[in-house]
Amino acid sequence: CYILAVETSCDETSVAVVKNGTEVLSNLIASQIETHKAFGGVVPEVASRKHVENITIMLEEAIEQADIAPEKLSAIAVTEGPGLVGALLVGIMAAKSLAFALDKPLIGTHHIAGHIYANRLEGEFRYPALALVVSGGHTELVLMEREGSFKLLGRTRDDAVGEAYDKVARALGFPYPGGPHVDKLAMESRTCEDMPRAWLEPDSYDFSFSGLKSAVLNAVNQHRMKGEEGYEAGIARGFQESVIEVVVEKAVRAVKACGAVQLLLCGGVAANRGLRQALTERCEKEQIPLTIPPHRYCTDNAAMIGAAAYLKYKQGSYSGLELKAEASMSLEAWAAR
């Protein structure tokens, strides 16, 4: 089975060819970071236009790199949501046209299922599995009791982790996207400023990062008012430690409570060095098998979409040409379709 996958939910245009849901034959990613940097964040209209500029040539290139005849493709997969509607639409239109022209099935795919399935490119899933999703727009604990079943145990009540990273980075003077800059500064820091932890109710698997973000902004202002310098690293470290402690603790608690036999870390923030290290150490101590995708499959890419689409391919669950972009769409609803 050869799936051609398209991902345009945000500011990365990506096209991949994935064999049997596990083997990446090609995975092209055109990042628009340089374009959006000037605005300090992703501008939806600009993102759509850039996707349009890139998509056709990338489709050709991905097929060529995979070294496969287009007629040999088994299906065309595309991210249908969640994401920016205008951006999603570009990928969906391209995927529909190709599916129609080649007379191949179309598979609408959930973006977060994709992030989770980035781990499938590393090896088999063992169930029940628990996914810790930490991305630019999502922070979730998802229980997978068996193949194709997704149960949302908890989610952020306000900011997503990646969003908090980007806002903190901006306050510390870094360009968009700020996550990697804060990560680097935190890892190099010799000081650590005390920051609050939002545990919420004792039994809750939900998250909250807006209080932490406000604490960071307050601390920055205090230092500035006093005319101090060089405080950034201590703040970055304090922020990162708070985030890591809470997500690691909640994930481990959920693994134990659900009897999960595998923990899957995913989403853009899974690229965070501090988090990878802390989660790896904790899982070793607790003897929890942990999978973390390599960096290139943590942030948005089409290979992960091809991996998740294989689930629907095996079920013969295809989408019609009336497939629509869904700005917000639950994993459960996608899985049940």
What does residue 19 show for φ and ψ, rounded to 5 degrees? -95, 130
Contacts (CB under 5 A) with Fe ion, residues 294-333: 300
Count Cβ atoms below 10 Å from residue 11 Cβ, excluding itself: 25
Residue count, binding to Mg ion (CB under 5 A): 4
**What torsion do the CA atoms of 326, 18, 29, 106 make, to the nearest 10 degrees?**
-30
Question: For the sheet containing 151-155, what is the strand order?
Answer: 151-155, 139-144, 129-134, 262-266, 290-291
Please select the residue that binds Mg ion; options are 5, 10, 247, 278, rule is CB under 5 A: 10
- Computed from CA positions of residues 189, 181, 172, 138, in that sequence, does the dihedral angle turn out positive or negative? negative
The total number of residues shown for the chain amounts to 337
Min CB(135)–Fe ion separation in Å: 5
159 among annotated binding-site residues: no
135 among annotated binding-site residues: yes
- Between the CA of residue 95 and those of 48, 68, 79, 270, what are the distances in Å? 15, 17, 10, 28
Q: How far apart are CA 5 and CA 120, in angstroms?
A: 15
In the complex, the residues that contact ligand ATP under the rule CB under 6 A are 9-10, 83, 111, 115, 135-138, 162, 165-166, 177-180, 183, 267-269, 271-272, 299-300
133 among annotated binding-site residues: yes
Please select the residue that binds Mg ion; options are 7, 11, 183, 193, rule is CB under 5 A: 11
The binding track of 121-140 with respect to Fe ion, each residue x by CB under 5 A or -, is: --------------x-----
Query: Which of Mg ion, ligand ATP, Fe ion, none lies near 32, with the C-beta cut-off 5 to 8 A by kind?
Result: none
Min CB(280)–ligand ATP separation in Å: 15
- Cis ω on the peptide bond leading into residue 128 (within 30° of 0)? yes
- Cis ω on the peptide bond leading into residue 82 (within 30° of 0)? yes
Q: 74 — alpha (psi -120 to 50), left (phi > 0) or beta? A: alpha
Min CB(169)–ligand ATP separation in Å: 7
Q: Is 232 in the site for Mg ion (CB under 5 A)?
A: no
The binding track of 253-292 with respect to Mg ion, each residue x by CB under 5 A or -, is: ----------------------------------------
Annotated binding-site positions for substrate: 133-137, 166, 179, 183, 272
Binding footprint of Mg ion on the chain (CB under 5 A)? 10-12, 300
